[in-house]
Every structure is written in C-alpha cells, then in structure tokens.
C-alpha cells in the first residue's frame, strides 16, 4: 500500500479514539486534504508530461518520415533532371558531330585538291 494511504488510515483510527473537534485534528485533517490534492495534481502532471512525451515522439517520427519522403522525392527529381540533361547533351553532341562531318566532307575534296596541286606542282 501507498504510504499516504497508510497514514490516512492511522489518522482516522486515531480520530475515532480521540476528539474530532480539536484544533490539532482539524489541522491534521486539512494537511491530509491538501496532501491528497497535491498527490492528485502530481498524478495529473505526470500524465500530462507522459502525454506530451508521446506526442513529441509521434511528431518526431512523423517529421522523420516526412523528411525521408521529401529526400526521396528530391533525389528522384534530381536524377530525372540529370537524365533529361544528359539526353539533351547526347542529342546536341549528335547534331554537332553531324555538322562537323558535313563541314569535313565539304572541305575534304578541297583538301585533296590542294594536296594534289602541291604534289603536281613540285
């Protein structure tokens, strides 16, 4: 049993044996009443603290889950953006290579003519 409960039982037994109207009895009765209120307030505050801790734990868990989701979405978005940029670069490289090839083809015959004319003029 709780010590407070035992104390109250002893007090009430003493009261039965003594005068209930004495000032000491009335003071003791108020002490027990206040002690009960303090115990109730303590119990209530412990419950409030426990509830707050549970709520904080839930908030933290939710925040971590949301952060993980946001990080995954950002990573996926970044990867998609990088893949799109890579595809554009590959496409541009192909266009640039084709343009260079066309310029090379045009100048190839000119270069061959220049070489032939240098060899024949010597």
Q: Residue 62: which residues within 8 A CB-CB, separation 6 or more?
A: none
Question: Do residues 60 and 54 make contact, with C-beta atoms less than 8 angstroms apart?
Answer: no
So what's the pLDDT on residue 17? 56
Question: Length of the chain, please?
Answer: 122
Burial class (CB in 10 A: 0-12, 13-18, 19+), 7: middle
Residue 22, helix vs strand vs coil: coil
So what's the pLDDT on residue 20? 63
With 60 as the cut, is the pLDDT of residue 14 above it? yes
Question: Do residues 39 and 4 make contact, with C-beta atoms less than 8 angstroms apart?
Answer: yes
So what's the pLDDT on residue 89? 94
- Domain residue spans in the chain? 3-121
58-115 confidence digits (pLDDT tens): 999 999 999 999 999 999 999 999 999 999 999 999 999 989 988 888 888 888 888 8
So what's the pLDDT on residue 32? 82
- State how far the Cα of 30 lies from the Cα of 68, in Å rounded to an integer: 56
Higher pLDDT, 103 or 15: 103
Question: Do residues 29 and 60 make contact, with C-beta atoms less than 8 angstroms apart?
Answer: no
């Amino acid at each position: 049993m709780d010590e407070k409960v035992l104390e109250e039982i002893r007090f009430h037994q003493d009261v039965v044996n003594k005068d209930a109207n004495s000032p000491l009895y009335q003071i003791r009765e108020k002490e027990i009443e206040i002690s009960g209120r303090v115990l109730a307030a303590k119990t209530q505050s412990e419950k409030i603290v426990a509830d707050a801790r549970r709520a904080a734990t839930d908030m933290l868990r939710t925040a971590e889950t949301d952060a993980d989701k946001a990080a995954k979405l950002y990573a996926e978005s970044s990867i998609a953006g990088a893949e799109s940029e890579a595809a554009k670069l590959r496409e541009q490289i192909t266009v640039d290579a084709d343009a260079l090839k066309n310029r090379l083809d045009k100048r190839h015959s000119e270069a061959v003519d220049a070489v032939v004319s240098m060899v024949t003029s010597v």
